[in-house]
Structure 1
Amino acid sequence: MSCLPFLHRTSAAAALVAGTLVHATDPQALLTRPMPGKPEWTRAHVPIRIYGNTYYVGSYGISAVLVDTGAGLILLDVGLPQSAPQVEANIAKLGFKLADVKYVLNSHAHFDHAGGIAALVRDSGATAIASPSGATALRAGHVVADDPQASDVANAAFPAAARVREIADGEAVRLGDTAITAHFTPGHTPGSTTWTWKSCENGKCLDVVYSDSLSAFASDGFHFLADATHGDLTASFRKSIRTVASLPCDILVSTHPDASGADERLAKLAVRREPNPMIDAQACRRFAAKFEKMLDERIADENKAAQAH
């Protein structure tokens, strides 16, 4: 759930301009140049094993998940550009080597989830992987034109990643003993992707879902209903939401932990591991229902606005 509308676009733009001037002569620093966001988006979180080979290495407000495949590491998302050093430090705290990160998978290409990918790719030598639309944005360092939040100009740009590979819907990234499967869930962005894999502990394997945002946020003037630039996006958005609801799902981590209650479950996990509070077979269905209701409300508002004109 990228929350770009909460930002004051003028102040955000000013911050970006100031950052550009300060770091204009330092290409390395450009990849981690701070971008504005909510305080919890960059508030440090202690890295923690979620289950089996799956670890949380993100911040309090933005998820980043690490999977140890036995033949290298796969990272899902990074966060803002300035979060890359924090994620790298969390990987090291867990005893892993940054150079062992082989792939960085992206949920959606907004600055608050993809902004740090360029620095992580540079520092680790990894390859970023995303849907075709997401890959286009990662290579360009800018959201795609048909993104619902594309007109939020101050937050549309982020560092471009050097190595990016596209993945197909239903295709798996395979490394070691792990296969992480891409499920395209367009709506929040055209390239939104939810990722799933199995994680095993003490002989028990569970289904882990890293769900992309399902929130119907958009820039002023954008409509999910048909308009002059696109057809009705409602059906595809609903399909995405219902895809997440129907996935085998023992453990859910959402891109913003608080969107699914993962923040509360992680807090409990830090206190006790048995029974593991991250395990919740109903989490995906509750998460999907919450955001289908949000979409219903959004469409109702768009219909009212259209009737008023």
Structure 2
Amino acid sequence: MFARLIPLAAMMLAGCASVDTEARSVAQDRQAFLDTCEDWDEWEKPAPPFRIYGNSYYVGTCGIAAILITGEDGHVLIDGGSRGGGPLVEASIRQLGYRIEDVKTLLHSHEHFDHVGGLAYLQRKSGAQLVASHGAAKALESGEVQPDDPQYGMEGGFEPITVARKVRSFEAVSLGKIALLPLTTPGHTSGALSWSWWSCEKTDCKVLVYADSLSPVSSETYRYGDHPEYIESYRAGLKALADLPCDIVITPHPSASQMLARMQDEDGLVDKAGCRSYASGVEARLAKRLSDEVGAE
């Protein structure tokens, strides 16, 4: 499966943009974020934006991530926060000196209101096209969590969003020199996507991965053990995520991948074992959840 990455390598490397000439201090921006935000912070608490690496920026709130990838032919935005978070994401984009009108492509992690609730607002402001997974498209276009979602009945709705294109794993999404690869990672929801791409600073390129929320959280009546095919897909996605090239991992809930702690480390956000560690931690939680379900019978 990962052989499919090879023919796309040249295209992705072409997306390595040199660091822009704006005299921003990455250390200062990250410190401003750390001074403002805490682990597992509020979902609609405004956060100072900062550069993750190269042409990739964090533009989310303290508690919910959104990622901006900039390019000469337009920008890509992954996730839009909650309904109230959408304007905060827009403000962060503008604070960095970029125009919301230059965002041409919208992407998602998973189809819950805290991550896609702001996308309709951002789509109106930008005119961008939304690329979605086949599994999430119906929820996104209806604004309603679907019955196959483990959290069906728990999650609130959100403003419907127009989907322009549907993708499966490794069907590249490109915008100019930017190229991203989706990976279907069902589990937390059936339509969840993780994303990987290159960002570069001069000739130093790194693979960034936006790994979706994968925790086995559900309503009180849902039993993962009653859905063996879903569990098989869940575990396949975890394995695929663990096997991805991965220098920097970010998650929709930033604290799920210890983002704030890593920002204070000497190596910053770089952790080549980050995706593997994140996936193995979720696998352990899933195994415990299945064991608990058997014990409750």
TM-score (ref. length: structure 1): 0.80
Tell me how far apart the structure 2 counterparts of residues 231 and 260 of structure 1 sit (CA, whole Å): 27
Specify the SS of the correspondent of 1:41: coil
Are residues 247 and 39 of structure 1, via their aligned partners in 2, closer, same or farther at CA, if it must alter by over 3 Å? Answer: closer
**Per-residue CA distance 1:5-35 (angstroms, 9 max, x = gap):** xxxxxxxxxxxxxxxxxxxxxxxxxxxxxxx
Q: 1:193 and 2:193 equivalent?
A: yes
Tell me how far apart the structure 2 counterparts of residues 135 and 276 of structure 1 sit (CA, whole Å): 38
Name segments (4+ residues, structure 1) moved above 4 Å.
none
Specify the SS of the correspondent of 2:87: helix
Contact persistence 1:215–1:291 (CA under 8 A): yes
Identity rate, percent: 41
C-alpha displacement at 1:163, in angstroms? Answer: 4.4
C-alpha displacement at 1:243, in angstroms? Answer: 1.4
Contact persistence 2:137–2:163 (CA under 8 A): no
Residue in 2 that maps onto 1:123: 125
Residue in 2 that maps onto 1:77: 79
Task: Give the counterpart of 1:248 among 228, 245, 249.
Answer: 245
Contact persistence 2:104–2:129 (CA under 8 A): yes
Letter in 2 for 1:175: L
Contact persistence 1:139–1:164 (CA under 8 A): no
Q: 1:160 and 2:151 equivalent?
A: no
Specify the SS of the correspondent of 1:206: strand
Equivalenced residue count is 258
Tell me how far apart the structure 2 counterparts of residues 99 and 257 of structure 1 sit (CA, whole Å): 26
Are residues 118 and 251 of structure 1, via their aligned partners in 2, closer, same or farther at CA, if it must alter by over 3 Å? Answer: same
Task: Give the counterpart of 1:290 among 256, 264, 281.
Answer: 281
Letter in 1 for 2:51: R
Tell me how far apart the structure 1 counterparts of residues 283 and 106 of structure 2 sit (CA, whole Å): 29
Tell me how far apart the structure 2 counterparts of residues 132 and 263 of structure 1 sit (CA, whole Å): 32
Q: CA RMSD in A?
A: 1.5
Q: 1:262 and 2:297 equivalent?
A: no
Residue in 2 that maps onto 1:216: 216
Gaps (5+ residues) in structure 2? 1-39
Residue in 2 that maps onto 1:17: none
Q: 1:235 and 2:232 equivalent?
A: yes
TM-score (ref. length: structure 2): 0.83
Letter in 1 for 2:124: R
Residue in 1 that maps onto 2:137: 135
